[in-house]
Amino acid sequence: MSDRSEDVAHGSRGSGTQARRRPQRLRRVLSGLIAVVCLFMIASAGDATAKSWGYDLAAELMSPYCPGRTLASCPSPQAAELVQWMVMQEAAGSTQEEVIAVLIERFGEEILGSPPAKGITLWAYIFPIMGFVVGGGFAVVTLRRIVAGGAAPSAEAAPLAEAAPAEAPRTESTIEPNDDELARLVDTDLEARA
């Protein structure tokens, strides 16, 4: 009987351990499943926001109703209507390029934040680059001349060096006093004036 009672005891322990392990396994499987579902939802939400361009385009285009402001920052009710029109065009399936083409046709190229890189407006992109290259070259040449001029005396500096008088040798009277002597001299001078 003792063997049987031990088996029953072990069996009850074993079934209790298995009973505890089942919920733990179930919890692990469910938490893994929930994590996969959450990652899928986050990825699909990221794709949905990446495809949404209506409001982003409003932040890039200039407002025809408020000079110097984008459509998104313009307080005009007409600008808000134009933004809503762009969002509706997006929902209807129009592409971003089609909407921009319609807006350029309606309001002109001023609605674009920057001029297109074609024709005469191409110079707006070329001039800054040329200015940087030419200015950088000028700075390099100038700095090289300055550095080279400091290393070797130029032909103009030689006559000036010859014309300068030679320094007189220092004697005790020409040596400048130190701080203690200077303080003493100032004190004696002040006493003499008083």
The token pair at 61 is 């285009």
Tens-level pLDDT at each residue, the chain (194 residues): 455 554 444 544 555 566 566 777 777 777 777 877 766 777 665 544 445 788 888 888 889 888 889 888 999 899 999 999 999 999 998 898 999 999 989 988 888 877 666 777 677 778 889 999 999 999 999 999 999 876 555 555 555 555 555 555 555 555 566 888 888 888 999 999 87
Q: What is the pLDDT of residue 49?
A: 47
The fourth-level CATH superfamily of domain 54-113 is: Cytochrome C biogenesis protein (1.10.8.640)
Placement of tokens 């921009």 in the chain:
100
- Domain chopping of the chain, boundaries: 1-51, 54-113, 117-148
Taking alpha carbons only, the member of 134, 154, 136 closest to residue 145 is 154
Asked if 72 and 83 touch (Cβ cutoff 8 Å), the reply is yes
Taking alpha carbons only, the member of 94, 112, 92, 114 closest to residue 103 is 112
Most distant CA atoms of the chain, gap in Å? 129
Taking alpha carbons only, the member of 114, 88, 120, 122 closest to residue 102 is 88
Q: What is the pLDDT of residue 169?
A: 56
- Which DSSP letter does residue 156 get? T
Asked if 185 and 176 touch (Cβ cutoff 8 Å), the reply is no
Q: What is the pLDDT of residue 141?
A: 92
CA gap 181, 139 in Å, rounded: 50
Q: What is the pLDDT of residue 50?
A: 47
CA gap 158, 164 in Å, rounded: 10
CA gap 50, 33 in Å, rounded: 26
Can you say whether the dihedral through the CA atoms of 8, 12, 13, 17 is positive or negative? positive
Burial 101-112 (b: 16+ CB within 10 A, else e): eebeeebeeebb
Backbone dihedral region of 184: left (phi > 0), alpha (psi from -120 to 50 degrees) or beta? alpha
